Structure 1
């Protein structure tokens, strides 16, 4: 018995390899660079005389270009190689951020945002695919959980850092720091070394055009991610206005508490995913997310806002890495690029739809609180869709066993 345990331990591949750390660090630097610009570019555009429509387009144009890029990025990753696409994407991001310093017209900044979105779509899809190649399959949930912490750290501190640098120095100083971080991400990517999966030409010969851009096995987890991203889009877009409506003075507390809880739960739920499977993470995660949204809709103080954020953080911190790990597990190794492109496209689309659809609902009913309450229906739909897919998969396995076939 002891010998068996020792054998299993010996077969357990290490997670914290040089390639894993380097890729996670490159992702952290890229996301920190990006998050510094989220609150500062709109403020700078306003200083240049940009109106509300142009300020809104700063986010919209970036999202559209990254969304359009991801399917082609996924195809390129599977056919041209991971490193080449990654370096091209990171280089575009670095040069575009540096170029903002020389643009003094709103129209030029909007054009640069479109190019920046292309680089962002290439870079993030590439990093997600590279890390999926590096993480041992038996530790995929745990690895994705730790890798996702780099995003969380950047989301928690990047915007605050960007605002502080802009208020203390200038927007151009923000661009210098952001460009430096993006350049460091490029340098880190040069040192990523790992044994890349080798694919046969027959495996990569995808016949249908749609399959070249989208991965069918990724559609279910991506659809579930879409539902959660719509809710998140409603939070990041309207939480400040909701704070004014509810009389909450410091809505930034929501993001701080949410990020803190995400940092705690992601490594834990990743291990649970590896040991028990996706259902043990997705179902509780959806319940916590739904509860957090419901509590948020009734928050009228910093204490109640913090409680809602902690609850939402447990759900949000559980769902995203579990869905990404599930996406990679369902896809063939030679289709990981397309799978990641499909997955991240759903995230971009969901955040954009959340801003538009939930904003329309809030305008129609005249209440952000009711809007958040109604958005819990999307998480209920999440549970229904996943429950149906789980039941259908169980039925398929049952029929396979009854006919003597090997379950897949």
Structure 2
């Protein structure tokens, strides 16, 4: 962590508080990962209904991200971080208050706003603070909040659900969200970087999305979202149906440890080897993880699937954020992040009801097989479309060429946004 030694004391303190708040936020959210599908099953829902309730989380993300991205660019990153933690502190009380599927869907949509706000503000703020030459390293270290939270939260949530019931579980989730809010309040809000508005500069969502440096990563994230949604929504239920002696909370904890382990060096290595190689590796891991789940008949295979899935998340998402930071100016970064990550949100939203329907027809096992096929398409697209032509795309995706769309590699900023 040599890069942190170059920062002044105030900046290091700011990053430490931000890291702690991020850890609390993800612990709050992930405490419900292995338990909420079981709670929805407990109140009488079938597989398709469980998928709809869980997938409605992404509706809140999708509807709020564009607005929150603009807000982060125009009013600063801290305000959207505050929104995210406030929602995280309130939403668990909604689960506690109702067992109606309709109301649970509304609570789940509301809860989705928390992730849209927090991830947009957090990613943009870290990208602003990190020097370009060590951006991968800094984002890699600061993104460790996610796997650490995903290691702590499911373990806590699974334990409380088994020993104390759902009421205590939801109260814990709310308390962790509130503690994250207290941390964000202490973050020093950096000045908002602005640029002169011109008639041509105020591009809408579709104009921004149409540019190749944004469109291709967004499509890749959408397809990967199918994998993420399938795993997060149905792994606990799949384990229950197979009667394999492997706890759903343990699956997410192992995945989080794997994600943590690979992030420690992947970010720094990407500053030397480029982002493309690690994005390719991350997508491949997601595909392999789904294949392992498709073929899983024992605890050891579920363990391997968790390790591989965690490695995919540990490289792909942080490296995609770093790549989009390389490709954007600070004053447009919130919007660019919001659009790209909205692809992941949409994939998750589609995955739960779509793959839930497939699970009703063919079972959980074959559902993961279908998910592997869909996610494989993301790998093909990135290998062939990530740069300005097929040759450059392959070389960039395999770590043999720099990113043609990175601002560091462009002498003149083109007016594509």
- From 328, 331, 334, the counterpart of 1:334: 331
Deviation at 1:263, TM superposition (A): 1.3
Give yes or no for the alignment of 1:25 onto 2:20.
yes
Secondary structure class of the residue paired with 1:172: helix
Q: Distance in 2 between matches of 1:226 and 1:191?
A: 34
Q: Distance in 1 between matches of 2:23 and 2:126?
A: 13
Partner of 2:234: 238
Give yes or no for the alignment of 1:128 onto 2:123.
yes
Give yes or no for the alignment of 1:271 onto 2:256.
no
Q: Distance in 2 between matches of 1:107 and 1:143?
A: 42
CA contact (8 A) 1:203 1:334 kept: no
Secondary structure class of the residue paired with 1:304: helix
Give yes or no for the alignment of 1:286 onto 2:263.
no
Deviation at 1:12, TM superposition (A): 8.8
1:5-404 superposed matches below 5 A: 13-14=6-7, 17-41=12-36, 51-52=45-46, 56-98=51-93, 107-193=102-188, 195-196=190-191, 198-202=193-197, 206-210=201-205, 216=211, 217-243=213-239, 248-250=244-246, 252=248, 253-364=250-361, 366-390=362-386, 392=388
Change (3 A) 1:70 1:20: same
Q: Distance in 2 between matches of 1:54 and 1:320?
A: 28
Deviation at 1:321, TM superposition (A): 1.0
Secondary structure class of the residue paired with 1:208: coil
Q: Distance in 2 between matches of 1:10 and 1:124?
A: 23
Q: Distance in 1 between matches of 2:275 and 2:60?
A: 31
Q: Distance in 2 between matches of 1:245 and 1:43?
A: 12
CA contact (8 A) 2:55 2:348 kept: no
Deviation at 1:281, TM superposition (A): 1.1
Unpaired segments ≥5 residues, structure 1:
1-8
Q: Distance in 2 between matches of 1:51 and 1:169?
A: 22
Provide Cα deviations, 1:368-388, integer angstroms capped at 9, x if missing partner. 444433433334322321222
Secondary structure class of the residue paired with 1:392: coil
Q: Distance in 1 between matches of 2:121 and 2:368?
A: 33
Change (3 A) 1:172 1:371: closer
Q: Which moved more, 1:373-382 or 1:141-150?
A: 373-382
Question: TM-score by structure 1 length?
Answer: 0.82
Deviation at 1:212, TM superposition (A): 8.6
Structure with the bigger percentage of helix: 1
Secondary structure class of the residue paired with 2:144: helix
Deviation at 1:122, TM superposition (A): 2.2
Change (3 A) 1:42 1:248: closer
Secondary structure class of the residue paired with 1:192: coil
Deviation at 1:406, TM superposition (A): 5.1
CA contact (8 A) 1:71 1:214 kept: no
Change (3 A) 1:222 1:367: same
Greater C-alpha Rg: 1
RMSD: 3.5
CA contact (8 A) 2:53 2:101 kept: no
